[in-house]
């Protein structure tokens, strides 16, 4: 029975390896990126984590050769999302670090920002939060060099969301503080909202509210709703599981009196 399982597992690995070799010959890079994402998703289901890591590493090497940067960013997002679920945190971290190195070479700042966002989101899902910290710091250092303000804001917004999940809250606060200084001139309500939520996740309600005040009209209402949602979920963790099942505004109405600020 054991020999049969091993044989089957090796067969699955060989099939996936061959599939990756075939993707190298796909001429339409959007299709190539889609194929890489699909193979990565299946690869992590292998019982042998080392084999899964080898396949994901090969997928990243193929993604590195994609010339269309929008497709390359898509491939990096799919592969790193899969890599973040590996049981071996060290292997996952190495793969995410490789993806970051590839993302640094993306010249179009819009797609570089997208790639950085995907990679940091994957990093935030690592089982060992301490392993996520250097990846998020590295992504932040890369985002600092983005010249287009809108693209930089997009990248920083994603990195802020990832930073708020770090186990080392002091490190998270330091990263957020540095990013907020860069973002002080931004008028993008969506970005400001993301930062406000990140500060709320860390319990810094004063900074979360300060950022919310920079918005106006419906945008301010939306930001305050997100802050309120975080507070409600912290007080009642079961609410987080319900978030995707129904709009949070309805069940938040009963929690307005519990706000930790005046």
CATH code assigned at 125: 1.25.40.10
Specify if 22 maps to a domain. yes
Does residue 154 have a pLDDT over 60?
yes
* Amino acid 256: pLDDT: 43
* Amino acid 99: pLDDT: 97
Q: Within 13 Å of residue 48, how many CA atoms lie on the same side as its CB?
A: 14
Does residue 229 have a pLDDT over 80?
yes
* Amino acid 259: pLDDT: 47
What's the CA gap between 99 and 73, in Å, rounded? Answer: 10
Does residue 210 have a pLDDT over 70?
yes
Specify if 230 maps to a domain. no
Of 149 and 262, more confident: 149
What Rg, from alpha-carbon coordinates, does the chain have?
20
Specify if 216 maps to a domain. no
Domain that holds residue 38: 2-150
Specify if 10 maps to a domain. yes
Residue 107 burial (CB count, 10 A):
7
* Amino acid 262: pLDDT: 40
The confidence band for 92, taking pLDDT boundaries of 50, 70 and 90, is very high
Answer yes or no: are the C-beta atoms of 139 and 113 closer than 8 Å. no
Instruction: Go through 140-153 and write b for each residue having 16 or more CB atoms within 10 A of its CB, e for each that does not.
Output: bebbeebeeeebbb
Residue 236 burial (CB count, 10 A):
13
Does residue 163 have a pLDDT over 60?
yes
Q: Within 13 Å of residue 214, how many CA atoms lie on the same side as its CB?
A: 19
Q: CA dist 250 to 141, 201, 253, Å? A: 39, 21, 6
Does residue 90 have a pLDDT over 50?
yes
Specify if 136 maps to a domain. yes
* Vertex 47: Cα angle to 77 and 129 (nearest 5): 50
Which of 128-137, 175-184, 194-203 is predicted with the least confidence, judged by mean pLDDT?
A: 175-184
Does residue 114 have a pLDDT over 70?
yes
Does residue 74 have a pLDDT over 50?
yes
Average pLDDT over residues 135-158: 90
* Amino acid 255: pLDDT: 42
Which of 76-90, 115-129, 145-159, 172-186 is predicted with the least confidence, judged by mean pLDDT?
A: 172-186
Does residue 187 have a pLDDT over 90?
no
Placement of tokens 């969506």 in the chain: 190
Specify if 167 maps to a domain. no
What's the CA gap between 117 and 77, in Å, rounded? Answer: 8
* Amino acid 242: pLDDT: 64
Q: CA dist 156 to 87, 96, 212, 217, Å? A: 28, 18, 17, 24
Answer yes or no: are the C-beta atoms of 171 and 129 closer than 8 Å. no
Task: Domain count for the chain, please give it.
Answer: 1
Does residue 62 have a pLDDT over 50?
yes
- Give the helix/strand (H/E) hosting 95: helix 89-104
* Amino acid 241: pLDDT: 62
Does the pTM surpass 0.85? The reply is no
* Vertex 158: Cα angle to 161 and 243 (nearest 5): 50
Specify if 210 maps to a domain. no
Task: Name the percent of the chain lying above pLDDT 90.
Answer: 47
Specify if 11 maps to a domain. yes
The confidence band for 257, taking pLDDT boundaries of 50, 70 and 90, is very low
Of 240 and 212, more confident: 212
């Amino acid at each position: 029975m054991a020999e049969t399982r091993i044989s089957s597992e090796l067969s699955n690995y060989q099939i996936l390896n061959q599939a990756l070799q075939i993707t190298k010959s796909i001429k339409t890079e959007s299709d190539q990126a889609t194929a890489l994402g699909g193979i990565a998703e299946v690869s992590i289901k292998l019982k042998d984590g080392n084999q899964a890591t080898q396949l994901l590493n090969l997928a990243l090497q193929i993604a590195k050769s994609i010339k269309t940067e929008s497709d390359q960013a898509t491939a990096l997002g799919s592969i790193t999302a899969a890599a973040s679920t590996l049981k071996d945190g060290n292997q996952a971290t190495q793969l995410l670090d490789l993806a970051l190195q590839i993302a640094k070479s993306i010249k179009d700042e819009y797609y570089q920002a997208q790639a950085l966002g995907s990679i940091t989101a994957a990093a935030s899902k690592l089982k060992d939060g301490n392993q996520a910290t250097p990846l998020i710091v590295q992504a932040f250092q890369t985002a600092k060099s983005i010249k287009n303000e809108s693209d930089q804001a997009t990248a920083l917004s994603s990195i802020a969301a990832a930073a708020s999940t770090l186990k080392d809250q002091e490190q998270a606060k330091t990263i957020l503080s540095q990013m907020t200084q860069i973002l002080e001139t931004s008028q993008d309500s969506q970005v400001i909202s993301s930062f406000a939520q990140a500060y709320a996740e860390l319990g810094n309600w004063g900074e979360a509210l300060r950022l919310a005040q920079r918005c106006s009209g419906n945008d301010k209402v939306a930001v305050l709703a997100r802050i309120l949602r975080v507070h409600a979920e912290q007080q009642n963790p079961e609410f987080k599981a319900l978030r995707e099942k129904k709009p949070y505004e309805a069940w938040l109405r009963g929690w307005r009196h519990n706000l930790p600020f005046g």
